[in-house]
Structure 1
Amino acid sequence: AAGDRHFSEWSGVKISAGGDAARKKVKDIDLQLSELHAAFTVNLS
């Protein structure tokens, strides 16, 4: 995959830092989705 090739060009440090940033972004998105879901559920009841 293109993404795999891109990552293979990075140093281990950059991959680690990028992974941390990606995990934080996913966590933030999960939080936003949870809040949206909670708001939606409240609106339905």
Structure 2
Amino acid sequence: MKALSDLFSTDYGLMSIIGIGIMICMAGFFIGLFLRKPPESGQK
């Protein structure tokens, strides 16, 4: 329980949570970006 209280009540714990959240958001963005169908490149 000490680890959880440190995680949510200290400045380095909150920065860790923010950093992990940013990385998860970036991963979701890039997965969506790379899985999207690429546009047709003029080959008709």
**What's the TM-score bracket when you normalise by the shorter of the two chains?**
0.5 to 0.7
Residue of structure 1 in register with 2:11 after alignment: 15
**Structure 1 stretches of 5 or more lacking a match?**
1-12
Give RMSD over aligned pairs. Answer: 1.5
Runs of 4+ residues deviating >3 angstroms: none
TM-score in terms of structure 2 length? 0.61
TM-score in terms of structure 1 length? 0.60
**Structure 2 stretches of 5 or more lacking a match?**
1-8, 40-44
Which is greater in Rg?
2
Alignment length, in residue pairs? Answer: 31
Q: % of aligned pairs identical?
A: 0
